[in-house]
Amino acid sequence: KAVRTLFDSTVGSVGMDFFDNAVKNLCEWLETDYAIIGQLTGGKVIEVLSMQIDGKHIHDYSYNLKGTPCNEATENGFCFYPENICTLFPEDKDLVNLKAEGYIGTPIINKNNEPVGILCAISRTKLKNAPRVKEVIEIIAAKASAEIERRKSEEALKAAFDIINMSHAVVFLWKNE
């Protein structure tokens, strides 16, 4: 199951398809109710790239890391809390509202070895420690890092083309006055 999850999550998909496939496959493999791939923005805020809750994908959501297990993961690396996650992180109102019990997560690290996001799965029941879970999640997080970098490069390239196109329009208008 670990190899299948790894394969299905990382091979053949890019962009939003990758993010959506990865959270779906994590939920299925780990038998969790929720999974999140999020990008770190503004220092301590996670903007969700893809989140699956009870089989439904959500893309437009953000949350503050303060008092969350995701903060623990971004600061200290891979975290596995099989049970009592709400007791361990009582400030995390989202976990309390979701009636979460177990949590597993790892930071998404960029090529400069800096955290740029989070990959996690959350369960309403006690989490089982699946074989090779840390390795599989960290490989998926590495692919997520590459996808985040690719998205940033595409956005920068689009912005550069927009500036070039605007410059050409200004020159055209100026020459035709």
- Per residue in 21-68, pLDDT tens? 899 989 988 999 999 999 999 879 999 999 999 989 999 899 999 999
What are the structure tokens assigned to 74, written together? 């971004």
- Distance between CA atoms of residues 4 and 130, nearest Å: 13
pTM of the model: 0.80
- Burial category of 96 from C-beta neighbours within 10 Å (exposed 0-12, middle 13-18, buried 19 and up): middle
- Please give the Cα distance from 130 to 160 (Å, whole number): 45
Please write the tens of the pLDDT for every residue from 103-123. Answer: 999 999 999 999 999 999 999
Distance CA 114, CA 43 (A): 12
Question: Around 88, how many Cα atoms within 13 Å sit in the side-chain half-sphere?
Answer: 16
